Structure 1
Amino acid sequence: MNIKKLIPCLALFLLFNTTDAQINGFEKKIDSIIQTEFGNHDEPGGVFMITKNGKNIYRKAFGKANLELNVNLTPDYVFQIGSMTKQFTAIAILMLEQQGKLNVSDPVSRYIKDYPDGDHITIHHLLTHTSGIKDFTKMKSLSSIAQKEMKPEEMVNFFKSEPVDFAPGEKFDYNNSGYVVLGYIIELVSGTSYEEFIKKNIFDKAGMSHSYYASDRKVIPQRAYGYHKKEQGFVNKTAISFSVPFSSGSLMSTVDDMLKWQQTLNQNILLNSKETQKAFQKYKLNNGEEFTYGYGWHLKDISGTPDREHGGSIFGFKSMGVYIPGEDIYVVGFSNCDCHSPTEVTRNIAKAALKEFKTSAKRPQK
């Protein structure tokens, strides 16, 4: 036996086994983070995915997609994503700006003539939650329309005459109404419905074939069913008309499609780099104070490393996505019960992934 010939093979064997051990250790670490919130596999659960440089590092499902039929979730299931919808609305606005059909500095009154104080509220204010208009989700009368089929104009009319909370640009205050107005402007400017605009100009171009404008009536393959948790146990989610959250929260997607979305943004497929950057920069209030929101994304950090993130919550569902541009790490988590929040779980996964990949980069190559 030639020992010298065996040494390179042995080194290679040890390298691969060390790598496997590292991967298995990382996977177990992520499993444990998720199971703090999604540990009961007999309940509604969630789907989580981690990617690095566009490649899947971790992709798992926990719990049930349907309690009545005792169907387990898989990573392919379709979830309602709630306010992560705002990313798509913001990019749609920037697409129309790039086409020369509007400008983010335009006053709302240019498109909705009779909007109160519409000469001073701009599209930029709507995008950044600095408009001061009343958030319709905080209105007591919301229950009166929650299950009605509302036209975008009717939704805008529902809240537009409410007293404003502050003057435009005075403060940042997260606001769903602003994104409903943006959806209506998209329809007015494009001459097509918001649903059709998003499908044709974003979903189709990005190859997001399992993403939809939400519906409880359409047959949607591999739809995850949504639940609430009450004292007596789980119940099916409250039915609403998706024309109410509209462009502020009515889209559905899968974790795989959300990766396609992220890659489409990275590759400037929908927008040029200059226009794309408008979504990912911080802006200032009237007094010069900077706030941590761009157009459709919170701009924060994970362990001191800048990230872009946004969550969503709608009856029966919660969602969260974190992207770390400096490392090209994307983490997304969906839940089909609003009793389980993926927000901190997803951020903690992103923190662990960031640590893992930074540590891996520092390891000497064998």
Structure 2
Amino acid sequence: MNIPTEFDEIRPYAPEELPQVFEELIADPAFQMVVNYLYPDTPFDLIAAKMRQCKTNLDFQMAFGYDFVKGIADKYCDSLTIDCSSLPDKKLSYTYVSNHRDIVLDAAFLSVLLIDNGMNTVEIAIGDNLLVYPWIKKIVRINKSFIVQRALTMRQMLESSQRMSRYIHYAISEKHENVWIAQREGRAKDSNDRTQDSVLKMLSMGGEGSFIDRLKQLHIVPTSISYEYDPCDFLKAQEFQIKRDNPEYKKTPQDDLVNMQTGIFGYKGRVHFQMTGYLNDFLDTLDTSRPKCELFTQVSNYIDRSIHLNYRFYPGNYVAYDLWKNESRFTDRYTPEEKQTFEHYINRQLSKIELPNKDEAFLRDRILAMYANPLINHLNAVSHEAE
């Protein structure tokens, strides 16, 4: 396939580029060290030989990624499930727009679940702020990731957004790949999931026709991701306090690595992906004579409601709501034992936070909010539907 050169800087590697990239990785001492850590019982030469046998990106994902992610799910999740029954046609290529909990695993879990349902993996939008080592940038591009460039001037940002949009449209229409992108830049640290209009504006920059036509060409599927436990909840709470006490604080690349490692190797309980419907059906109902800014907001709100309505709840969400609100509204949704289990979990997470001026009440409040907010949003969405 002749991929336009304008995408060379951001796109996943093409199959013909893989042999050279594999050799660069195999010769990289930092990559060797990571592989030896992940596969302590397998000689590196065997890993290298297996890499060289991979002819396509999907070959690499099946040879390494699939079993690795399955192993993470088996070890650190009680269950990993998906409901994609709302997709109109499994043979179509889709853009999955979802809430965002885990830096690595949201897209990785989704790809594994899609494979298990006879579908293709996703190309993944990933911020260049996470590509802190050369080997990471190579691995993610092998693994069908395209790069979202951050820290640009306003003019550069516009040009970058236009190019990324053109690439996403190209991936869907010409490469026939699925795409995953979060509904906002970065994770919602308080789990108050909201779609940023800027994401939709970016998606609509590519393609042909009206704003609505361009979004329809992407076959967008709002997707709700529910983790019973977020291993990074204590790190997110810690960041809330640090930013409260020092508004100038900025996360370092090392902080991102700690978040990635904690998210991958931490206990997650039950994890569920819910495809919430097909955005094109909603887009067909819009009044295109209205101002474009209103249409963006309507679409954002619809994606939000879809994600909020289809979130899957666990006892901890109901316990967190009652504790955070100081109510007993949902006592019929959990047992005393389940409440005790969740409270013990919160205390364990809080004990992991090491700050010189640790504000335990504030930190507890922030963690409870993370588990209560999806339920609050769900209740508001249900009320909206009933109006």
* Superposed pair shares fold, TM > 0.5: no
When the two structures are superposed, what TM-score results if normalisation uses the length of structure 1? Answer: 0.23
- Structure with higher Rg: it is 1
Higher helix share: 2
Higher relative contact order (CA 8 A, sep 6+): 1
